[in-house]
Copies of this chain bind each other. A is one copy, B any other.
Amino acid sequence: MPDGTATEPEIPAELATRLQRRGGAATIYDIAELAGVSPSTVSRALSKPGRISAKTEARVRAAAEQLNFRFNPMARALLTGRSHTFALVVADITNPVVFGIVRGAEHAASAAGYTLVIAESQESGEAEAEAIERLIPTVDGIVMATTRLSDERIVSVAERKPVVLINRAVEGIPSVLPNVEKGVSELLEHLAKLEHRSIVYLAGPESSWISDRRFDLMLEEADRLGFALVEIGPNVPTIDGGRAALRRVLAARPTAVIAFNDLMGLGLMQAAAEQGIQVPRQLSVAGFDDIFGSELITPPLTTVRAQLAEAGRRAVEDLLAGLSGDAGNSDQTRLSTTLIVRGSTGIAASTD
């Protein structure tokens, strides 16, 4: 039965077998053949609509549809130098802090038609450098979250491919940072109201920029508010790192502990509970990030919430903006933080 205008050309046998061999992946040559035009016409029809006669375009589209055509991203990348891929490098995938970042980054990327490859450095600078070295030729940009690399190495990477940092600032390189000031001062004021006067800051890993930054700000605030403040660390930024630190923390006899992140705060609370130490009656505990788990523990953890998914999203968007040339580069995006008061902080124990 003749069906008016759009007659679909049958697929020639020869073409069909060729497709079979390639696992069904058609090329613009196949389409050209089927539509009776040249390959370049196909290319134009499909990638810059409008620059071609409507009729031809329709015919090409129909053929493409029929063969279920997709561009081969590799061929395109080879030619254009753009892989439409970003790398996200994180220290520890199982750290809840990075989940949010990964999700935010993945969404922003796929919304823009980009693919996200993820590399875990397992808290090792060497492994991280290696992963980056391996990935760098394939990607259009790199998001480095909580990196363990030195400033120089970061710069050297950034010279070859666009880089956006999360939770780390390096001169001349765009970064997405939590607004540390606000979070820290809110937290310390909260503790001041609860009459704490002696505080321990449980630091993060040695090469953590943000841990140092937080402590610096605490020093300022402590001065202003009249706290005694000591830093204990560096520590591994995990549950176990928090557990392991309990002894040293207790030795300092503080009324409150601020952990570098929630993970450590959680570990500290677990260890404390095992020793029969009551939180917050005997010791108040607070953390940073507000990860999954912080409100699960008893008592739930007071923490400074960071916008993790948003950070991931922004980082990718910065990369995107940079590529499309819109860029006021080397910006610093600041994300606000919020103090979440929960049960782990309370009136200071009497220090006698």
Contacts and interface: CB of A to CB of B under 8 A. Distances in A.
A118 B106 contact: yes
B115 A70 contact: no
A116 to B, nearest CB: 6
A100 interface: yes
Given A70-B137, A102-B93, A115 B117 contact: yes
Interface in A77-102: 77-78, 83, 85, 93-94, 96, 99-100, 102
Contacts of A107: 120
A83 B74 CA distance: 8
Please state the number of chain copies in the assembly: 2
Given A115-B117, A292-B292, A138 B73 contact: yes
A160 B159 CA distance: 38
Interface string A129-144: 0010111111000000
A103 interface: yes
A298 interface: yes
B77 A74 contact: yes
Contact of A297 (B135, B138, B297): B297
Contacts of A72: 78, 137
A74 B72 CA distance: 11
B110 A103 contact: no
Contacts of A83: 74
Nearest to A131: B110
Most chain B CB within 10 A, of A23, A74, A83, A137, is at: A74
A9 interface: no
A266 B138 contact: no
9 contacts: A24-B160, A73-B137, A74-B78, A78-B78, A93-B103, A96-B292, A110-B120, A110-B131, A115-B135
Interface of A: 23-25, 70-75, 77-78, 83, 85, 93-94, 96, 99-100, 102-103, 106-107, 110, 113, 115-120, 131, 133-138, 159-161, 266, 270, 292-293, 296-298
